[in-house]
Chain A
Amino acid sequence: MTLSPTNGVPGGAPAVTAEAAADGAPGTTAPGPSGASGSSPGASSAGSPRARPRRATPDLGADRGALSESDWHRPSVRWGMGGTHVLLLVLLVVVGLGPMLLLAKFAVTPTQDILRTPMAVFPNGIEWANLERAWNDVEISRYFLNTIWLALGSWAVQIVVATTGGYALSVLRPRFGRVVQAMVLSTMFVPAVVLLVPLYLTVLDPPLLGRSLIDSFWAVWLPAGASAFNVLLVQRFFDNLPREVFEAARVDGAGPYRLFWSIVLPMSRPILGVVSVFAVIAAWKDFLWPLLVLKDPAIQPLSVRLPSIEASTDLGVFLAALAISTLIPVAVFLLFQRTFLRGAGLGGAVKG
């Protein structure tokens, strides 16, 4: 997870992440030094099956910050820093968890109480019906399903494009590969805002298809695949896979398809995990693009639907709808905390 990779390849940024991701490859789940567990020092070498000797191992033996062991023995540091940490924890609970807890409370509070005394604790009882009405009457269930479909489709398209493209560019290396790679890389310099209008018009009247993609999930799925970030991430990972394995497979008569399916893909599970997490999160969060291309309320995801039902929905029910929409992502995060935090640590720096 070092942020200073050693190779000066074009597009240093993706290289950073691929390098870092390749560090944990293949199949090792060495706890990232930053990871959720700030536990015992040396755990990262013990957890990794192949503990490679490194030139400099600053973070293995001495997992330390600015404060040293002897600093911690000084009472002023112990109490000062200890107090600061307690304060920080309280602050994090209030700021990070507080709004979520309030939302959970409002989700089961009668609307009149929310309006009159928002901070009172259930003065007139609990209104469980809010949740049920949000799920059934407001049809949050349907929009939930739409969101899942959008996320799954975007994920599938991104995985297909990134793995096949990365494989072709990294392993097969056709003679025009460099041109393609340069063109993919160049799109990283183009901010998303430029694409907004022309992409909308393209979806409105796609070439060779003869019918508009508006109000079809494909309008969200396909553009999601055009992610240079993914392609370069995967390609860098493939670049770091041992060539000897490919050669051996070729000698044994494996063609390019077999090599891809039976050798390269199984070896790239770590990077596919990272790409998948990014893909699903991005799809879940996306708002503006689905708002533009999915006009039919019946197929809109939660992110698009929630703002438009805000005015017409009873406040208690609306907040219950918000709470339900938050529940799944938060639950997934708490379950896969380590993957999330590792992904954020290594990929966050290069996501625009």
Chain B
Amino acid sequence: MSTTAAPPRSGDAVPARPAVGRRRPRRSPATWLRGGGLSNLIFLLPLLVVFGVFSWFPIVRAVIMSVQETNLVTEPVFVGLDNFRQVLADPLLWKAVRNTLYFAFLALVIGYPVPLVAAVLMREVRRARGVYSALAYLPVVVPPVVAVLLWKFFYKGSPTGVFNTILGWPGLGPYPWLQDASWAMPSLVLAATWAGAGGTVIIYLAALTSVPAELYDAAEVDGAGLWRKVWHVTLPQLRGILFITLILQIIGTAQVFLEPYLFTGGGPNNATVTVLLLIYRYAFQNSLGGDYGAATALSLMLALVLAIFSVLYFRLTRSWSTS
């Protein structure tokens, strides 16, 4: 790999370039070795092995498994699109899709504006801004499992639950929180928002610092007040990052698992079964042995939907980076 290596035997006039190993006319094992082929391979080996075994191979395998009947006991059998048909015919799937969409919707309504408002306000803080950021970020540091278990305890439905006690001071409640089918999902979203909003606040704060001061100056010359500055300068400048967090939130909420699994286990009355929870049930909570075919079929369908958002995300980040 080093340029000090012996020149290639075929005496062509290609100047030795620092980016080695391109356009060698003849390649015998000896020239490969001298050109640094071995050290290239050694350095790439960890990446190739780890990605090969734990990423590329499983991705290919997912596609194959989705058209097979696999139960680890007997040989896999090709069944065509039966797995997809079986999943699409499952009444629980549509419930899960609706629940997931509902979770995503609530997360948008509750969770999306909160960090933005907080960040725009925090940007104006002149003293001890670090304290604000640290406080906002603190819930993100709590391990998610701990956060869920703690909130589950807070959500206790009896009048002596923590939230019900607090809300009881002004005479509200008691509320059923997780026990009631219509309360359960908003409760999940509330906890998830608490756990995640801080990270988004920090992202917005970072983006806010790159809003050019001249734009505000110019707006002031034109006589804009605070609200018009926020509306006509701050928000348009954040446009890119707002779209990015939006798409990331959609991708994230579509794969929500931890909250429904730990808070409610999908209940009450399947009101919080999400798509990923259903995949988990197909594969790992099946008393008849894992239905891996159905599970991979469903995850591929979900992935296909999410891929649209991923592509959108990459296009957006790229187009904004060039503009």
Contacts and interface: CB of A to CB of B under 8 A. Distances in A.
Contacts of A302: 143, 145-146
B269 interface: no
A58 B70 CA distance: 60
B122 A349 contact: no
Contacts of B138: 96-97, 100, 330, 333
Most buried by A among B21, B36, B40, B230: B40
Interface stretch (A46-54, A131-139, A223-231): A223-231
Contact of B213 (A62, A167, A192): A62
Interface residues of A, number: 138
Nearest to A257: B39
Nearest to B2: A250
B200 A348 contact: yes
B142 A66 contact: no
B61 to A, nearest CB: 4
Interface string A90-115: 00110111011011000000000001
A176 to B, nearest CB: 9
B146 A88 contact: no
Given A88-B118, A344-B140, A190 B213 contact: no
22 contacts: A5-B321, A13-B314, A58-B212, A65-B124, A66-B226, A66-B230, A67-B124, A70-B220, A102-B162, A168-B47, A173-B20, A193-B255, A194-B302, A195-B62, A202-B54, A247-B3, A247-B18, A251-B4, A255-B2, A288-B261, A307-B145, A307-B262
Given A191-B306, A204-B72, 19 more contacts: A4-B321, A12-B318, A13-B317, A16-B317, A34-B208, A64-B216, A66-B233, A99-B150, A115-B160, A118-B162, A174-B40, A189-B310, A226-B51, A231-B47, A246-B18, A255-B39, A322-B146, A330-B142, A349-B203
Interface of A: 1-8, 10-13, 15-16, 32-38, 56, 58-59, 62-68, 70-72, 77, 81, 84-85, 88-89, 92-93, 95-97, 99-100, 102-103, 115-119, 157, 160-161, 164-165, 167-169, 172-175, 177, 180, 183-184, 187-202, 204, 206-207, 222-223, 225-226, 228, 231, 243, 246-247, 250-251, 253-257, 260, 284-285, 287-288, 292, 302-304, 306-307, 310, 315, 319, 322, 325-326, 329-330, 332-334, 337, 340-341, 344-346, 348-352
